[in-house]
Structure 1
Amino acid sequence: MAHILFADTSHPKPYGFDDLAAHAMGGTESSLLRTAQILHNQGHQISVYQKNRSLSETQHGIQFLAPEDLAATTGVDHVIVLRKFPQVLVLQKQFPKAQFHLWIHTYKNWEYVLKRGLRLAKPWQLITNSKTHAKHCDRLLNHGFMGRIYNLFKAKVQIKTCYNPIPATLAQGISQHRDPNKLLFLSAPNKGLDQVLKTFQQINQQLKDLHLYIANPGYRDENPEQIANVHYLGALPAEQVKAHLATSLCVFYPQNSFAETFGLIYAEANALGTPVMAHDIGAAREILHPNNPLINAENIKQITQTLIQWQQSLPEVSYRKEFDEPSVYQQWVNALGL
């Protein structure tokens, strides 16, 4: 079995499994914890290094490392760096025998290809969280103008996909009584919220009983605009998010300015039988259940008609096994060569 080290050097505070249950948490952090647990359950030794952790501890059999204890860590086979490419260079010096993987959850601009020009002790592999994301990164790093130049004297960047895991037990203990006039937005404000609010106001003129409830992962401090029939929930722990999802008509996400590389809310909503009103952008088509139709975020008539239709009969969406523990574990086996 392998010793796998996850390295998060960007999150502003430490987090663990207690936080996953009790507090609002971003999709990247929650996915790291769930993935670490899946790998641990299969017998691998898992360590999670967090730059802003002050005290090391063990939770659920997984070692969470503060910076002062990282130096004493030995026998690491794989280092999975979250987000920050420069940390690959830093940690390669400490773990020269390990294989390195950069796990990213966002789309990158063209400048990202310049990282291929940096000299590393060993090759690195990119891990994305959807096939859509992987195709975008492959075009950027290996097939764009600069990428083709690098291909003349450097090996292509290897890119693998590992989905964010969704617990198969997500829907247990949740009431399925829905309010046909309750819409839910569950993302950070920068993910198209302005467009969503404008669209809701237009639709609310015709469908006057609709109410929009807005939550966010808690890492943004915003002064929300007060709008009729719009309710701000703030940052919610996981159980409250599930309760809101299960009692809403749908996740209301008609925006085409922010592309999700995975869209945790897509998968979690569908797992609870809740459709998502989303534009065909990013990984929406890949991650949403096949029965979940997509809409044109700029077509107010289509959105309104779809809401009316869903109030009468919701599309049948459900949990997808592609995101369960056995499937996600096999994806990591393939990515890391375990």
Structure 2
Amino acid sequence: MLRVAKALGSRFAITHYQNGRDDRRLSEAGELRPIQDLDAAKEPATLIVINRWKVAIKLRRQHPDTPVFLWLHVYPGRHNRKMGAALKAADITVICVSNTHARELAAFLGADNAPRIRVICNPIDDALRPDDTPRNRDRLLFASSPHKGLGEVFEQFATLRDALPTLTLAVADPGYLRWDTGPVPRGVVFMGSLSHRSLIRQMRRALCLFYPQTTFAETFGLVLAEANAIGTPVVVHGELGANAEIVADADQRVDGHDPAQILARIRAWRDAPPQVTANPAFRLSKVARDWTRLLDSVPTRPQMSKV
């Protein structure tokens, strides 16, 4: 979100109203303010709410003439089925982060209750490119929160290691959620929370990003796109969430329920890693143009506020 806001800063005055913030500061991505400041702010040109559809409805009542968007990064749970009709009645457009996300949201809400839905992908930095960092053919990398299938990944890795005992699995955990992942196999190395720069360095060193879990559906999967952008292949379960859209190369997609297929892929890549590249549609410059077109299309401008 901050990456997008920074890219739009030369065209739009952006203010972030954040729950839990108690200070005010100016950043490269715009002004950062406590959410309470929104009550006293002058009428914003546009309001963009992150994930919280009920907050979007509340702001629509408070700002009846202001364009309101819901920037959705998650799949809503069953208890949120009423959100579609409410958003449609409030004339609020939903921004989904992949075509898969948009299709599944529309199906979940139903044709009669679906609001307007637009797709703007999450961005990968324009500067992310392959380099000459040597890869460790024995090193796999998991770079997500543990609730995103890490327990299953541990089981898959343990099976792999029975056949390839020199393999190691590095785990980069952003640290925002504790999760029971079951027994930790031999060969796992925990790196904790890494800066983005450090994470990219770890990606460059790894044979692949190892993410064949079959339970947590990603709406986009930014870490998958970033890995491909620097030339690092991904082992990902193809039939889950937006995986097949974000990782378009079929050679990187596996059946996560099939240990033999995963083993065959790792063995082949240890001998000859595939050549992978970024999808240009995910580059920040393209995503910023998509946001600019959207914001230029609303009746009023030039100030954008995010909640």
Residue by residue over 1:186-207, the C-alpha shift from the partner in whole angstroms, topping out at 9 and shown as x without a partner, is 1111111111111111110110
2:220 maps to 1:251: no
- Quick one: percent identity of the two aligned structures? 30
Larger mean CA deviation between 205-214 and 119-128 belongs to 119-128
Larger mean CA deviation between 123-132 and 323-332 belongs to 323-332
Match for residue 272 of structure 2? 313
Alignment check: 8 A CA contact 1:92 1:121 kept: no
Alignment check: 8 A CA contact 2:136 2:205 kept: yes
| CA apart distance, 1:215 | 1.2
- How many residue pairs align between the two structures? 295
Q: 1:239 to 1:157 in 2, by over 3 A?
A: same
2:39 maps to 1:71: yes
Amino acid at match of 1:90: K
Q: 1:119 to 1:182 in 2, by over 3 A?
A: closer
Match for residue 331 of structure 1? 290
Amino acid at match of 2:3: R
Match for residue 2 of structure 2? 33
1:216-227 matches, within 5 Å, as 216-222=173-179, 225-227=183-185
2:257 maps to 1:288: no
Q: 1:122 to 1:213 in 2, by over 3 A?
A: same
Match for residue 197 of structure 1? 154
Q: 1:226 to 1:113 in 2, by over 3 A?
A: closer
Alignment check: 8 A CA contact 1:289 1:318 kept: no
- Taking structure 2 as the reference length, the TM-score comes to 0.89
Residue by residue over 1:212-254, the C-alpha shift from the partner in whole angstroms, topping out at 9 and shown as x without a partner, is 0111222013576442101111111111101110000000111
1:1-338 matches, within 5 Å, as 32-41=1-10, 43-60=11-28, 62-118=30-86, 122-143=90-111, 148=112, 150=113, 156-171=114-129, 176-222=133-179, 225-280=183-238, 281-290=240-249, 292-336=251-295, 337=297
Root-mean-square deviation (CA, aligned residues, Å) is 2.1
Alignment check: 8 A CA contact 1:183 1:249 kept: yes
DSSP-derived class of the 1:246 partner: helix
| CA apart distance, 1:121 | 7.7
Alignment check: 8 A CA contact 1:175 1:243 kept: no
Amino acid at match of 2:236: A
Alignment check: 8 A CA contact 1:270 1:289 kept: no
Alignment check: 8 A CA contact 1:165 1:328 kept: yes
Alignment check: 8 A CA contact 1:162 1:328 kept: yes
**Partner Cα distance (1:220, 1:249) in 2:** 27
Which 5+ residue runs of structure 2 have no aligned equivalent? Answer: 299-307
- Taking structure 1 as the reference length, the TM-score comes to 0.81
Alignment check: 8 A CA contact 1:291 1:317 kept: no
